[in-house]
Amino acid sequence: MALDAATRGLTVVAVDAHDLAFGTSRWSSKLEHRGLRYLANGQLRVARECAVERGILLTRTAPHSVHPLPMVLPLGPMVAPEQGAIGAVGLRLGDALRVGAHTPRGALPAPRRLSPAEALELAPELHRQGLRPRD
Ligand SMILES: Cc1cc2nc3c(=O)[nH]c(=O)nc-3n(C[C@H](O)[C@H](O)[C@H](O)COP(=O)(O)OP(=O)(O)OC[C@H]3O[C@@H](n4cnc5c(N)ncnc54)[C@H](O)[C@@H]3O)c2cc1C
C-alpha cells in the first residue's frame, strides 16, 4: 500500500507494531481479485473499482510483479450445460470489466474457448472422460 501510494505522488510513512505486512497480508494467496464476486452480488461500483485498480497494478505500479495467471475451467459430466453457460457469461462480463477499466488486452488476455485436446495439454491431470467444449 505504501509503495502504491508513493507511486501516486503521496508522501508516505509506514509504521507497524511488528514487521511490515505482518498481519493478514502474510496469509494472502497474492491473487488480484477480478471483481466477479462483486459483479455477481450486483455491487457494480466495487467491481469496477477492482478492475481499475488491477489495471493500474498490471500496467503502472507493479507490472514487474503482477502477471496474468491462466486458469482452465473444465466442463465435464459433473457440470450441467446451464452451469457451463453461466460460467461463460461470467467470464465475458469479467472481460467487459477489463474493457471498462481501459486495461489493454495485451496486459490481460480475454477468456477463450478450448477444445478438449487443448485443455488436456494445459492441464494433463484432467479426466478425459466426458470432457467437452463449451455448450
Ligand atoms: C488465507 C487468506 C488468503 C487471502 N488471499 C487474498 C488474495 O488472494 N487476494 C487478496 O486481494 N486478498 C486476499 N486476502 C485478504 C488480504 O490478505 C487482506 O485484505 C489484506 O492483507 C489486509 O491488509 P491490511 O494491510 O489491511 O491488514 P494487515 O496485513 O493485517 O496489516 C495490518 C498491520 O497493522 C499492524 N498493526 C496492528 N495494530 C497496530 C498498532 N496498534 N500500531 C501499529 N501497527 C499495528 C499489524 O502488525 C499488521 O502488520 C486473503 C486473506 C487470507 C486470510
Contact 87, 40 (CB under 8 A): no
Mean pLDDT of 112-125: 90
**Greater pLDDT, 134 or 59:** 59
**Residue-level pLDDT at 106:** 94
Distance CA 79, CA 73 (A): 10
Percent of the chain with pLDDT over 90: 45
Ligand 1 atom 4 nearest Cα: 28
Q: Which three cell numbers stand for residue 135?
A: 455448450
Q: Is 65 in the pocket of ligand 1 (CB under 6 A)?
A: no
Nearest-5° angle of CA 55, CA 15, CA 50?
Answer: 20
Q: Which atom of ligand 1 is nearest to the CA of 33?
A: 11
Q: Which three cell numbers stand for residue 78?
A: 459433473
**Greater pLDDT, 117 or 35:** 117
pLDDT (tens digit per residue) in 55-97 = 999 999 889 999 998 889 888 888 898 998 988 898 899 999 9
The pTM for the full model equals 0.76
Q: Which atom of ligand 1 is nearest to the CA of 25?
A: 21
